[in-house]
Copies of this chain bind each other. A is one copy, B any other.
Amino acid sequence: MSLSMHSASVPVIAHMLGSMLPWLDKAQAHADARKFDSANYMGLRLAPDMLPFVKQIQIACDMAKGCVARLAGQEVPKWDDDETTLDDLRARIRRTRDYVNGFTPEQIDGSDAREIALTMRAGERRFSGEDYLKSYVLPNVYFHATTAYALLRHAGVELGKRDFLGA
């Protein structure tokens, strides 16, 4: 027995997205208790040359939707990066989770050998479907999710590792 490309991607990524929703609820509660505008979270950065909170969530979502679309051989849908509030980000995370969950094993399984070409700043990069998932998508999803989590923790939001791993 071994892992299928679907089981190694769709439920794993959908779970990470679902875990992020309660972080935003806790961030909102923290803002309400401290009486500040929760939109202030959107621009938080751990260093001035790092992307802000809003981008961390947007990129995590984009990695997720790009993954399932590419593995299934579909065009990656383009979504505007126009979120300005935590509610907007919640909606984006839910939309992404629904999109990811819409892919069936029949669409994703067998994509381990599919060639995936990404256009990056440094030029085109080619992966097998397996390497794209293991070496690019999952590290990026977890990287941006953890960075968003770290920003909220640094801002005083009451989160713990269980919130990261999800129920």
Contact = CB atoms under 8 A, between A and B. Distances in A.
Interface stretch (A23-31, A88-96, A148-156): A148-156
A1 B46 contact: no
A138 interface: yes
Given A47-B153, A138-B142, A150-B147, A8 B15 contact: no
A138 B135 contact: no
Given A2-B3, A2-B5, A47-B156, 19 more contacts: A1-B110, A2-B2, A3-B5, A3-B8, A8-B8, A15-B135, A46-B154, A47-B154, A136-B165, A138-B142, A142-B143, A142-B146, A143-B146, A143-B149, A143-B161, A146-B146, A146-B147, A150-B150, A154-B154
